[in-house]
């Protein structure tokens, strides 16, 4: 084993002893850089990521509503809140839709809402208890940055485990579910335009649903990897309409 593997192994096996030594050193340390190193060491070794229930890690739940009894239930809720927020943004765009297409646009929003409800607002993305294919984290609760919209990998290798401690839970709220094809600049306006100019065609609302609410068009990114500049990407024109179905018809 390498020296670093041996060091990490000792830290893991005797982490509480290491934490106590680090706290003693931190109490007398004056150099900011060394303070940061010691504080980070204490922070990482003091985590209790394996704990799931409130009785096992009460500190993690500090500041949360009493109805949350497990870490996974809160993390699922936090993801649902983000997705619900996207749905509200789509709905709030209704006044901007051409008057002749407004009712049809509202019906599409209703269809999206029903689909999200049946999927529990995709809260599975943040729930470590879910099947591997459904979640964005490891079974232990680790999330990795999926990089800026225009890169395949995060060069900084950002990662976080919001299940580990309260501070990480709070910091995770700064991570973004970023739309590759932008929600406000591209997807929602394109949906409104598609409804207005459909001319007897059926809008492929499920395509827009995937762009707005699923990992087909979402990336989980560290705040430093969230580019707020114009992505200059647009919807696939070949997927905006589809052949009419007898059900779920938008007229």
**Counts for the chain of helices (H) and strands (E), in that order:** 8, 6
Instruction: Report pLDDT for 235.
Output: 98
Instruction: Give residues with Cβ within 8 angstroms of 160, minimum separation 6.
Output: 142, 143, 168, 171, 172, 175, 222
Q: Give 182-193 pLDDT, tens digit per residue.
A: 999 999 999 999
Length of the chain in terms of residues written: 251
| Residue ranges covered by each domain of the chain | 3-46, 71-225
3-state secondary structure 190-220: HHHHHHHCCCCCEECHHHHHHHHHCCCCEEE
pLDDT of 16 reads: 62
Cβ atoms of 191 and 108 within 8 Å: the answer is: yes
Average pLDDT over residues 131-146: 97
Residue 131 in this model has a pLDDT that exceeds 70: yes
Average pLDDT, the chain: 90
Band of the pLDDT at 4, cuts 50, 70, 90? low
| 124/75 Cα distance (integer angstroms) | 9
pLDDT number for residue 28: 80
Residue 53 clears pLDDT 90, i.e. is over it: yes
- How far apart CA 163 and CA 51 sit, in angstroms, is 8
pLDDT tens digits along 193-218 = 999 999 989 999 999 999 999 999 99
pLDDT confidence of residue 212: 98
High-pLDDT (> 70) share of the chain, %: 88
The per-residue pLDDT for 2 is 60
Chain-centroid distance, C-alpha 5: 32
Residue 33 half-sphere exposure toward CB, CA atoms < 13 A: 0
pLDDT at 1: 53
Cα 109 to Cα 128: distance, rounded to the nearest angstrom? 29
Q: What is the pLDDT of residue 215?
A: 98
Strand ranges in 108-166 using DSSP code E only, listed in sequence order: 143-144, 159-160
186 and 93 Cβ atoms separated by less than 8 Å = no
CA–CA separation, 209 and 189 (whole Å): 13
Mean pLDDT value of segment 123-150: 97
Q: Which of 212, 207, 152, 204 is nearest to 182 (CA)?
A: 212
Question: What contacts 93, CB < 8 A, 6 or more positions away?
Answer: 188, 189, 192
Query: pLDDT digits over 23-49, tens only?
Result: 787 788 788 887 878 777 776 766 788
* Section 67-96 average pLDDT: 98
Query: In what helix (H) or strand (E) does residue 179 lie, and over which residues does it extend?
Result: strand 176-179
Q: What is the pLDDT of residue 250?
A: 53
What pLDDT was estimated at residue 45?
Answer: 67
Task: Please check whether residue 43 is in contact with residue 165, taking contact to mean a CB–CB distance below 8 angstroms.
Answer: yes
């Amino acid at each position: 084993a390498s020296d670093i593997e041996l060091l990490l192994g000792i830290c893991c096996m005797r982490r509480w002893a290491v934490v106590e030594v680090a706290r003693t050193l931190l109490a007398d340390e004056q150099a900011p850089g060394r303070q940061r190193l010691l504080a980070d060491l204490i922070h990482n070794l003091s985590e209790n990521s394996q704990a799931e229930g409130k009785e096992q890690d009460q500190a993690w739940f500090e500041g949360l509503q009493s109805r949350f009894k497990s870490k996974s239930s809160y993390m699922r809720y936090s993801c649902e809140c983000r997705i619900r927020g996207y749905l509200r943004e789509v709905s709030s765009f209704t006044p901007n839709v051409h008057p002749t297409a407004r009712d049809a646009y509202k019906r599409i929003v209703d269809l999206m809402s029903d689909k999200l409800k049946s999927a529990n607002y995709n809260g599975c993305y943040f729930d470590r208890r879910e099947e591997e294919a459904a979640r964005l984290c490891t079974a232990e609760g680790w999330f990795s940055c999926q990089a800026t919209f225009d890169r395949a990998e995060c060069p900084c290798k950002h990662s976080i485990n919001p299940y580990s401690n309260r501070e990480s839970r709070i910091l995770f709220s700064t991570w973004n579910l970023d739309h590759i094809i932008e929600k406000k600049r591209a997807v929602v306006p394109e949906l409104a335009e598609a409804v207005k100019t459909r001319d007897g065609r059926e809008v492929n609302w499920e395509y827009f649903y995937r762009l707005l609410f699923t990992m087909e068009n979402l990336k989980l990114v560290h705040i430093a990897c969230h580019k707020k500049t114009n992505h200059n990407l647009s919807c696939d024109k070949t997927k905006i309409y589809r052949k009419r179905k007898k059900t779920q018809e938008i007229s």
